[in-house]
Amino acid sequence: MLERMEFDSDLKAKQWYNKRFSDFGVFETSIKYNSLMLKYLGLKEKSDKKLLDVGCGGGFFLKQAEKFTETFGVDFSSVALNNAKKISKAELTLCSASSLPFKNNFFDFVVCLGSLEHFIDMENALSEMKRVLKKDGKILIYVPNLNFILFKLNPATAHQPNERLASFNEWKKLIEKYFLIEKTDKHTHNPLGKLIPKEFTYSFVFVGKK
């Protein structure tokens, strides 16, 4: 695993993100991407189930997810959450991924999309996600691939201060310490992504349960 960790505390990290988002806007995920993530969760119709987005950012995924389920989002950036409030009806909480303010076994779905690699303490975050997920719930984690060719040329996922890149097996080893992995997939934003071998794809999707 390749690590580039500029900050060692959430306080320093969130100050960077708040300034970055204030100056340039929040990171936005596309409708196509959000729809694909919902497909992995099997969400096709409205239900009373509860979904938590850990590191929800500007709320773009939550905006689409709320069509199918009751939505909750957490992020340590107040600027990001202010954006999410404008576009989403989700219940939003300002907090660290390492200390989620929810009861045990509360959520039917927990997602962490392109955020885990930036958390200062990934192990605590994964432990917290496991704690709040129901026993029959579903976890969805999206992480970057160390062996993606462009990362070899420039090892940064989005030029963020705290980043980790890992191979499929490295991510799998970490995630399966907390969850039973039921499905994995490759993902790239390039239309020709299906032709790229899994080993060299842009990122990985892990779907699992407790």
With beta carbons less than 8 A apart as the criterion, state whether 119 and 180 touch.
Answer: no
What DSSP string describes 52-65? Answer: EEET-TTSHHHHHH
On whether residue 77 sits in a domain, the answer given is: no
What number of residues does the chain have? 210
Q: How far is CA 14 from CA 79, 96, 119, in A?
A: 10, 10, 11
Q: How many CA atoms lie within 13 A of 112 on its CB side?
A: 25
On whether residue 169 sits in a domain, the answer given is: yes
Segments forming the whole domain that contains residue 186: 2-21+101-209
What is the rounded CA–CA span in Å between residue 20 and residue 7? Answer: 15
On whether residue 139 sits in a domain, the answer given is: yes
pLDDT tens track for 121-151: 999 999 999 999 999 999 999 999 999 877 7
* Burial of 26 from C-beta contacts in 10 A (0-12 / 13-18 / 19+): buried
On whether residue 29 sits in a domain, the answer given is: no
On whether residue 46 sits in a domain, the answer given is: no
On whether residue 53 sits in a domain, the answer given is: no
What is the residue-level pLDDT of the chain in tens, covering all 210 positions? 989 899 999 999 999 999 999 999 999 999 999 999 999 999 989 999 999 999 999 999 999 999 999 999 999 999 999 999 999 999 999 999 999 999 999 999 999 999 999 999 999 999 999 999 999 999 999 999 999 877 776 655 557 899 999 999 999 999 999 999 999 999 887 776 677 788 888 899 999 999
What is the rounded CA–CA span in Å between residue 178 and residue 107? Answer: 16
Give the pLDDT score at 43.
94
Instruction: Give the rounded distance of the alpha carbon of 21 from its chain centre.
Output: 17
What is the rounded CA–CA span in Å between residue 183 and residue 7? Answer: 33
> What global pTM score does this model have?
0.94
Structurally, how many domains does the chain consist of?
A: 1
On whether residue 47 sits in a domain, the answer given is: no
Q: What is the CATH number of the domain that holds 158?
A: 3.40.50.150
On whether residue 36 sits in a domain, the answer given is: no
